[in-house]
Structure 1
Amino acid sequence: MENKKRPVFLDLTRIDMPVMAVLSVAHRITGILMFLSIPIVIYLLGLSLSSPQGYETVTSLFDSGLFRLIILLALWGFAHHFFAGIRYFMLDLDIGVDVVNGRRSAWCVLGAGIITTVIGMVMIL
C-alpha cells in the first residue's frame, strides 16, 4: 500500500518559474543585501569624512575592478528593488493584477533596472 501523504521533494533547479516569480525572489534578495550592506556603507562614509587620508583611501577603492563590480551589483540591486517596489505598490492599488499586465510590468521592471544600472555606471565611471 502506497502512502499518499508523503512530502513532495521539489527540485528548484527543474521548476520553470514565471518572470513574476523571479522578480519577487530578486526583490527579496536585493532587499536583504541592501540591509546587510548598511554597516559597510556607514563605515566607508565615516572613513571618508574622518580625514583627508580617509577620503583618499575610500576614493582609491574605485580603482579596483572588484570594487567597481560590487558597485555595479549594488546599483543594479537598488534600481531593481526601487522599480519592483513601485510595481508592488501598483499591484496593491489593483493596477495590473491580471496575468498579461503582470508579466509585462515584470519585464519592464527588469529592463528599467538594467537601463538604470548602465546609465549609472556611465555616469560614475
Structure 2
Amino acid sequence: MTNVTQNRPLSPHLTIYKQIPTMVMSIMHRFTGMALYAGTLLVAWSLVAAASGEATFDWVNGIFGSILGRLVLFGYTWALMHHMLGGLRHFVWDMGKGYGPERYTYGWLTLAGGVVLTALLWLFVLI
C-alpha cells in the first residue's frame, strides 16, 4: 500500500498569495460591513433615547460627545464612507468595466476617498 498523501499537491495558503490592493479592499469591505452593523445599533440606540425623553437623550448624547464616543462615531463615519465607495467600485465591476490595471487604482482611490470624505464630513460638522 502506498502513501497517497505524499503525492498530493499542497493547497494555496495566505502565505503564498501576494497582497494586492483589490484583495485588501475586499477584506476591508467585509470588515466595514460588520462595523456598520454594530454602528447601526448605536444609531438605533440614539433614536430610542430620543423617543424616551429628554433625560435619556441627554445621557446618550453625553456618551457620544465624550472622546471615546466621538472616536467611535468617527470610525463609524469612515466605515460608512469606505463601504459606500467599495460598493460603487463593485457597481462599476458589475457593469463589466474596470477589470484592467485600473482595478488597483480603484482600490487605492477607495481607501483614500474614504479617508478624505470622512475628514471633510467631520470638518463640516465641527465648524
Name the TM-score, length of structure 1 as normaliser.
0.84
Q: Paired residues, what number?
A: 123
Residues 122 and 110 of structure 1: is their aligned pair in 2 closer, same or farther, counting only changes over 3 Å?
same
Name the TM-score, length of structure 2 as normaliser.
0.83
Structure showing greater radius of gyration is: 2
Residues 4 and 124 of structure 1: is their aligned pair in 2 closer, same or farther, counting only changes over 3 Å?
farther
Please give the secondary structure, in 1, of the residue aligned with 2:7: coil
Structure 1 moving runs of 4+ over 3 Å: 6-12
The percentage of counterpart residues that share the same residue type is 23
Q: 2:60 aligns with which of 47, 58, 61?
A: 58
Name structure 2 gaps, 5 residues minimum: none
Map residues 1-125 of structure 1 onto 2, 5 A cutoff: 3-5=6-8, 7-8=10-11, 10=13, 16-98=18-100, 100-125=101-126
Name structure 1 gaps, 5 residues minimum: none
Question: What is the rounded CA distance, in whole Å, between the counterparts of 2:19 and 2:29 in structure 1?
Answer: 15
Name the Cα RMSD after superposition: 2.2
